[in-house]
Amino acid sequence: MKNKLCFVVGTRPEIIKLGPVYNFFKKKKKFHISSYFTYQHTEIGQDVIEHFKFKIQKKKARIIKKIDLNEKMSLITNDLKNYLIKNKVDGIFVLGDTLTAIVASIVAFNLKIKILYVESGLRTYDHLEPWPEEGYRRIISSIADYHFCPTVTNKKNLLNENISDKKICVSGNPAIDAIHNEIKKYKKNYELKLVNKIKKRGYVVNKKNLILITIHRRENFGLRFENICRTIKYLANIYKDFEFVITVHPNPYVQNTLRKHLKNIKNIFLIKPLFYPEFIYLLKKM
């Protein structure tokens, strides 16, 4: 009988980083692979789901972006529990330190389903930096069955927390695999399509010096975020031969604050969130 493994994702980074792992396991005949999308990020998830060829359960998206973390946890928990039970899942893959990852891990733990934890062992040892992610990843590590670490340092963190060496594998970062897989696609026609799509987001790709920026961390909201905006404005005024391209996260605070400080500055471009291939293309142009 095939082992049933489910990849539980809910945000853009999870989909991107687990994409290469998901597609690798789909080719293995001894596993039955499925994926479950929690809709934690409804507005920036569907495009990368299709790009990385995830086959997602048929389910109507819930609009949960306006509720707090505890309410989101509640909404995700029951639906995911029912899915895992109905499909008799043997193990779940989770990644990193998102709300989706912590909820999925606790649900699986309560159902005695194996937890395979990718991007395990990252630590700052400060629960507020980053918040709430540092707390989430330490909880997941304490209940996960298998740990896949990006680096040897991450493995050492887990060993220092008395996690068995037998449960740990230094696997590297699948986000790097995703980048290499994307760059392999570059041909003239493909790149031209990317340039046209980026133009629709609000930026015309040219030969000028480029600085690509994305800022949306919760722990930076407030004075820190304001200071980041002031710094970008200061640098843009000094380095006028550079174009500062900022992808504006859907979070209302991020949108309002960026527009308050950086709107209508000639060499600063506030653009719509980029699709993954578009973001990688601009990174490569820097």
Give catalytic residue positions.
Answer: 97, 119, 133, 216, 218, 249
User: For residues 56 and 36, is the Cβ–Cβ distance under 8 A?
Assistant: yes
Closest C-alpha among 38, 30, 33, 13 to residue 22: 33
User: For residues 112 and 40, is the Cβ–Cβ distance under 8 A?
Assistant: no
Burial class (CB in 10 A: 0-12, 13-18, 19+), 87: middle
Q: Please tell me what DSSP assigns to residue 273.
A: P
Alpha-helix runs per DSSP H in 87-143: 99-110, 133-143
Q: Tell me, what amino acid is at 81?
A: K
Extract the tokens encoding 210.
Answer: 């480029």
Beta bridge partners of residue 114, listed in sequence order: 91
Extract the tokens encoding 57.
Answer: 């359960």
Alpha carbon separation from 190 to 155, 193, 194, 196, 272 (Å, rounded): 39, 5, 6, 10, 21
**Separation between Cα atoms, residue 162 and residue 169, nearest integer Å:** 15
Do β-strands 268-271 and 91-95 pair in parallel, antiparallel, or remain unpaired?
Answer: unpaired
Burial class (CB in 10 A: 0-12, 13-18, 19+), 191: middle
Closest C-alpha among 170, 245, 181 to residue 215: 245
**Separation between Cα atoms, residue 249 and residue 221, nearest integer Å:** 13
